[in-house]
Amino acid sequence: MAEAMIGGLLSGQVCSAESIWATDPVAERRDRLKSQFGIRVGPANREAAAWADVVVLAVKPQTLPAVFSELGPILAHAHRLPGR
């Protein structure tokens, strides 16, 4: 899913490769994403979320509770849109 979203963002020129940071716990997958799309990759969700203006969680549903637990404090302090 993440690969399709990244490909769509780049081919639709919604953003540049330099503005995308993908994380994955598997080094081989990170290496493939980096070589395929030229994006920034890493293993650290917290670091990527703190860097980002927009966070997209492309994870399996059973993984969401752990990801929310990890990123909750960072995302809770994210900037909100006016009126939200």
Sorted by where each begins, the domain ranges of the chain are 2-76
Note the pTM of the prediction, 2 decimals.
0.81
Q: Residue 11 — pLDDT band, cuts 50, 70, 90?
A: very high
Domain 2-76 has CATH 3.40.50.720: yes
Find out whether 45 and 67 touch, Cβ atoms under 8 Å.
yes
Determine the Cα–Cα distance for residues 36 and 33; give it in Å rounded to an integer: 5
Q: How confident is the model at residue 81, as a pLDDT?
A: 56
Select from 70, 18, 61 the least CA-distant residue to 43.
Answer: 70
Query: And the tokens for 83?
Result: 């009126």
Sign of CA dihedral 6, 25, 23, 43: negative
Arithmetic mean of pLDDT, 24-35? 96
